[in-house]
Amino acid sequence: MLLSVVSSNPTKNGNFCNKLQNKSVISVETEFGVISQERQSTFYLFTDKQNEIGKSAELDLAKFDIVEKEYEILEGDNAGEIISLKQLYPKRA
């Protein structure tokens, strides 16, 4: 999957949290016409180096465990909203 760096920030653990996104359009042709939908996937990957915003690379998601965690937004306009974050970890043998 082609992923692009949206942000890359240092953490208190001495590594970097990289927010990666993939945007794609999925189209299905039917007898009624074509149906298109834009999709966006977001993943978080912790690495030993900071990456440039906009950098893109192919990532084989089969090599990673995808851990999904739910968090509640505590402040701001979206307070109380539950969001789901997907973190990538190297797949266990």
pTM, two decimal places: 0.77
Burial of 4 (0-12, 13-18, 19+ CB in 10 A): middle
Residue 25 tokens read as 């359009």
Instruction: Encode the chain (93 residues) as per-residue pLDDT tens digits.
Output: 999 999 999 999 999 999 999 998 999 999 999 999 998 899 999 999 999 999 999 999 999 999 999 888 888 888 888 888 999 999 987
In this structure, how many other beta carbons lie within 10 angstroms of the beta carbon of residue 67?
A: 11
76 three-class SS: coil
**Structural domain total, the chain:** 1
In 3D, which of 11, 93, 82 has the Cα closest to residue 45?
Answer: 11
Residue 84 tokens read as 């789901």
Residue-level pLDDT at 73 = 83
Residue-level pLDDT at 86 = 94
The parent domain of residue 61 ranges over 2-90
Residue-level pLDDT at 71 = 83
68, amino acid identity: E
Which CATH number belongs to the domain containing residue 14 in this structure? 2.40.50
